[in-house]
Amino acid sequence: MTTALELLYEYRHLMGKCRSGAGLDMEEIQAVDAIEALFADDAGTSGNGEPSGLTTVVRRRGLCDEVRLESILLDRLVVVGCPQVEASAPIEVMIDDPELRLSYRFRGTVAWTRDDGKGRLAVGIELVGTPVLVRRGPKTARALAASPSSPRRRIRVARAAA
């Protein structure tokens, strides 16, 4: 089953490829059309694209805050629980799926902010650019061999005579 987050990543990835001048083949064009149709059908329903169990982190200018992902749309994300942010500020959203060991990274700018009256700030983030998907696989035998539990060898470098 494909989630709204996976569809958003695929859509933004294909649109980034198209904008770069690489173009899309017919299958990719049909995929873009299908994704747009799915999101258009969900536009009338409330709670579209509310993934649960995903860790969402917002990064900006040296700050890193965990927030709750409220909704996913083709051109923007809405997060709740963000501290004060300035309008039009550049921002990065990292959404981690620990079950699938994936991390989706989106860049954007703050489009709007709204205080919900409980001291939490809802932020609309307009997405820009092409997203990045980081896949975290199981540790390899080489990585396990280099773990801190194994003793490290020191390499001595001979200094040249001056």
List, for residues 43-85, the tens digit of each pLDDT value.
655 445 555 667 899 988 878 889 999 889 989 999 998 877 8
Euclidean distance between CA atoms 47 and 106, whole angstroms: 21
**pLDDT surpassing 60 at residue 143:** no
CATH C-level class of 4-135: mainly beta
If DSSP codes are grouped into helix, strand and coil, which group holds residue 19? helix
Residue type, 34: A
Confidence of residue 14 (pLDDT cuts 50, 70, 90): very high
Euclidean distance between CA atoms 87 and 85, whole angstroms: 7
